[in-house]
Structure 1
Amino acid sequence: MAYLLFTCLVLYVLSICSASPPNFVLFFADDLGFGDLGCYGHPSSLTPNLDRLAAGGLRFTDFYCTSPVCSPSRASLLTGRYQTRSGIFPGVFYPGSIGGLPLNETTIAEVLKPLGYATAAVGKWHLGYGANGTFLPTQQGFDQYLGIPYSHDQGPCQNLTCFPPDVKCFGLCDVGVVTVPLVHNDKIKQQPVNFLDLEKSYSDFATNFIITSVKKNQPFFLYYPSHHTHYPQYAGTRAAGHSLRGPFGDALFEFDSTIGNLIATLEQMGVINNTLVFFTADNGPELMRMSRGGNSGPLRCGKGTTYDGGMREPAIAFWPGVIRPGVTHEMASTLDILPTIASLAGAKLPPVILDGFDMTDLLFHKGKSKREAMMFYPIDPNEKYGLFAVRLGKYKAHFYTRGATHSATTPDQDCSDFAVLKVHNPPLIFDLEADPSEHYPLPLDKRPDIQAVLVQIKKVKAQFEATMIFGESQISKGENPDLEPCCSPGCSPKPTCCHC
């Protein structure tokens, strides 16, 4: 009876919202592991606002990104398509990259724009900069943008301050290129960026966007991909030294604080009950950074690998009065966010092959997920090898395994870059419900049930790969130093003169 009443309430709320389209706030953490949040079991992480969202929303245990590194994962999130379709491989974009997310790909923002949505992105873009900002968010459906257009370690950081009063950034970051710029729309606002003030700038920008949109009675989509938990970590005076976890914990706490600020703004503006807030992350932790690199909890390996530690992420969906609090063990993915938002907004889906599924039944009724399988590509996918792994239901089969530099330093030798490519024939099969750490392959001998699972997985794999047409690789187009963003384009000598 209680469930029936709740279902009726959800339908009532949604019927009201149909006259006032829902708003969407999408948080995307960077290099965050499955075990990094307090609500996912970390004993010393200070994440009170995310913990609150998890307690009041739906927390996922089996949520996946599509790549164990940044750029391809972001492309899939925004387009609902595996990165291989849009050509965002191998690896990631750099300051002087010639390519970017193709402009004919349709982002969530472009899905919502025809319905009158205000759209804004704040934070890490990492889908290309290009000549004259060709690939910036303002060219992909976003009305406004404030952020660093790629990863904040893709520039020299040795002499920059990451923590107050003047604690220098950890490591060298990328040398020989321009310092990282802060870009507003398509103009460079600051170079190098001031890490101590960066989060306040982001928080103020996002807060003003929400307030302005509400005052205009305009539905909105805010996309906030954070830099914080990516190396090198940074935090301002309001977060530095506040956590028990050191620099990583302080950076995570600062991001969590901004999330709290934005939730408070939604409440103050009276739109919290008409806003879907979704939080997840782009890939697993960069374990090579040790205590500064995040934690994958019980999952194996991390960033750069196709083990679950590299691609299974924390995820929380929050919508007071609409999404019933709880935990779901259903499988879902960043791919599913675009079709879900489109469904809730009443928007048309782009006329292309989508790899995502509408999650509304899962979110509102805790029903079964429409997603039955998840595909795992390495950071350098190609048509010769195809998928490295496939998850079907609770079973995951590895056709290939390989470690990664990003996951070095762990005791598990299969995680590091010394673990070269291995072909598994028959594939390694794991029961992820019984063995989420992927330590104990299931035997095929005298196990007709597992043999039948393998037959089904191979069938799903073949059917999927038959639909996959690899797009032209955008990252393989190479780099041109002249494309590196510079606030004084005609200055000399570059890159050191790019300072303002």
Structure 2
Amino acid sequence: MGSSCFAFFGILLLCTCSASPPNFVLLFADDLGFGDLGCYGHPSSLTPNLDRLAAEGLRFTDFYSTCPVCSPSRASLLTGRYQTRSGIYPGVLYPGSIGGLPLNETTIAEVLRPLGYATAVIGKWHLGLGHNGMFLPTKQGFDHFLGIPYSHDMGPCKNLTCFPPDIKCYGLCDISNVVVPLMENEVIKQQPVNFLDLERSYSDFAANFITTSVEKKQPFFLYYPSHHTHYPQYAGIGAAGQSLRGPFGDSLLEFDNTVGHLMATLERTGVINNTLVFFTSDNGPELMRMSRGGNAGPLKCGKGTTYEGGMREPAIAYWPGIIKPGVTHEMASTLDILPTLARLAGAELPQVMLDGVDMTDILVKQGKSKREAMIFYPVDPSEKYGLFAVRLGKYKAHFYTQGAFHSSTTPDKDCPETAVFKAHDPPLIFDLEADPCEHYALPVDTPDIQSVLQQVKTVKEQFESSMVFGESQVAKGTDPNLEPCCNPECSPKPSCCQC
């Protein structure tokens, strides 16, 4: 019996060797907080399609990204490995970055392609562009790419229209960079990007990809890393002014509308019952933007920090007939998506150190997680200090804490950048079931907590002994000549890069 058949018969007990492999749609929001969706309790967010997925699927309460900023969390999602192994640290990649996700790293797309999967990504890549586009998705296992190669605020945005009819984007963004390009595969399609039409372009591209794959009877993997709800927010005619939450709510609604369009396409093409749809976010909300920055719900701090608000994310798994509606409190992570999809597809795992575990039992049986611990690295990890925090079971121990400018403006003094680096010996320890807000550190002088701390320290030592830091790709620096320009010979740059 082949590995693909074994995956279906042994795991799902659904079908025989003649069954079609499952399709996968991976939805990845940007800077969306734990408390931003209607189904996670926000009183004024309008997210009917994501709420439907949560009502009819499995909603996670204890799901984590691996980093509180963009590029590292995306590297971990696609490789099943902490960003420290792949070298996507410290911080994020920029338009002219020399480095990118190393080509010897294996992405989910590269795991699935040998089994005949069609693969596509729409939206925000943010894992490097490099010389001659060497780090673009088409060099990392994806057949198709329509999107922006980095974050959409990495260019001058003040004079761009973000909301109809002619409301300019809020803020200055990165004025010295070229205007933001829209790329199709490895070619610049539009520069600067038209924000008002961008989501429709993504939605149509994705629907066509799904339809074509179904017509070819080819299983598919669609990765949709949205720009929503990262600052500056934008929304086209279908969403602008339609929510109760202002620009942030409108951008979130537009993302939700695209999710609805994709779900309708899956239903129309008849593959909804053979498709796993998984949704989560890359990191917590950018609280410094106040009402335009998202909401972490009851969790402490947000983007840029290793507190819960920076790395615990909303997550939903949906697969009619396979995943029963419900809520799971089991611990899981973006790291676990690669090994899970590999098992469901019957694909071989990369022959490298993986940090993810298969969460099929959680999805199919609402069973226990194989994940025993979650590791928390800061934005700027180093071998000198190692990890900042460890979650083991319901307990989380902070060995180091530090605020971040991304989490400024909040009344909590531990969140902003003025909360300087601080070592804790003994570590601060919290019971995340009783106190998910991390307000009340437990006394460390009781026998029970002493036992927990010893277990945590053992996990920390074992993990750090296995960690080999990859060469930092961010530290390779930037080269203005690598910034994408549709008119590369023009002058003066960067303002002349328009088409």
> How far apart in 2 are the matches of 1:231 and 1:436?
27
* TM-score normalised by length of structure 2: 0.98
Task: Return the letter of the residue paired with 2:430.
Answer: F
> How far apart in 1 are the matches of 2:9 and 2:496?
60
- Report the alpha carbon displacement of residue 163 of structure 1 after superposing the two structures with TM: 0.2
Instruction: Specify the alignment match of 2:5 in structure 1.
Output: none
> How far apart in 2 are the matches of 1:450 and 1:396?
11
Task: Return the letter of the residue paired with 2:372.
Answer: E
SS at match of 1:317: strand
1:210-256, Cα deviation, whole Å (9 max, x unpaired): 00000000000000000010000000000000000000000000000
CA 1:12/1:420 → structure 2, altered by over 3 Å: closer, same or farther? closer
CA 1:400/1:240 → structure 2, altered by over 3 Å: closer, same or farther? same
| Residues 65, 282 of structure 1: 8 Å contact kept | yes
> How far apart in 1 are the matches of 2:343 and 2:453?
34
1:152-191, Cα deviation, whole Å (9 max, x unpaired): 0000001000000000001001011100000000000000
> How far apart in 2 are the matches of 1:414 and 1:279?
29
Instruction: Specify the alignment match of 2:404 in structure 1.
Output: 404
> How far apart in 2 are the matches of 1:257 and 1:382?
40
| Residues 210, 265 of structure 1: 8 Å contact kept | yes
Instruction: Specify the alignment match of 2:493 in structure 1.
Output: 494
- Report the alpha carbon displacement of residue 9 of structure 1 after superposing the two structures with TM: 12
| Residues 110, 140 of structure 2: 8 Å contact kept | yes
1:199-218, Cα deviation, whole Å (9 max, x unpaired): 00000000000000000000
Instruction: Specify the alignment match of 1:119 in structure 2.
Output: 119
Q: Over aligned residue pairs, what C-alpha RMSD do you find?
A: 1.2
SS at match of 2:453: helix
Find out whether 1:218 has 2:211 as its counterpart: no
Find out whether 1:318 has 2:318 as its counterpart: yes
SS at match of 2:54: helix
Instruction: Specify the alignment match of 2:199 in structure 1.
Output: 199
Write the mapping of 1:408-423 to structure 2, written as runs, cut at 5 A.
Answer: 408-423=408-423
- Report the alpha carbon displacement of residue 14 of structure 1 after superposing the two structures with TM: 3.2
> How far apart in 2 are the matches of 1:180 and 1:69?
20
SS at match of 1:14: coil
Write the mapping of 1:231-270 to structure 2, written as runs, cut at 5 A.
Answer: 231-270=231-270
> How far apart in 2 are the matches of 1:465 and 1:382?
11
> What residue ranges of structure 2 are gaps of 5+ in the alignment?
1-7
CA 1:151/1:439 → structure 2, altered by over 3 Å: closer, same or farther? same
Dislocated runs of 4+, deviation >3 Å: 8-14
| Residues 10, 322 of structure 1: 8 Å contact kept | no
SS at match of 2:450: helix
Instruction: Specify the alignment match of 1:451 in structure 2.
Output: 450
> What residue ranges of structure 1 are gaps of 5+ in the alignment?
1-7
- Report the alpha carbon displacement of residue 131 of structure 1 after superposing the two structures with TM: 1.0
> How far apart in 2 are the matches of 1:144 and 1:61?
33
Instruction: Specify the alignment match of 2:183 in structure 1.
Output: 183
> How far apart in 1 are the matches of 2:291 and 2:14?
44
SS at match of 1:123: strand
Instruction: Specify the alignment match of 2:229 in structure 1.
Output: 229
Task: Return the letter of the residue paired with 1:461.
Answer: K
Number of aligned residue pairs: 492
> How far apart in 2 are the matches of 1:104 and 1:361?
30
Instruction: Specify the alignment match of 1:5 in structure 2.
Output: none
> How far apart in 2 are the matches of 1:14 and 1:402?
48
| Residues 10, 321 of structure 1: 8 Å contact kept | no
1:258-283, Cα deviation, whole Å (9 max, x unpaired): 00000010011110000000000000
Task: Return the letter of the residue paired with 1:56.
Answer: E
> How far apart in 2 are the matches of 1:343 and 1:13?
14
SS at match of 2:493: coil
| Residues 67, 376 of structure 1: 8 Å contact kept | yes
Instruction: Specify the alignment match of 2:87 in structure 1.
Output: 87
| Residues 96, 483 of structure 2: 8 Å contact kept | yes
Write the mapping of 1:47-446 to structure 2, written as runs, cut at 5 A.
Answer: 47-445=47-445
Instruction: Specify the alignment match of 1:469 in structure 2.
Output: 468
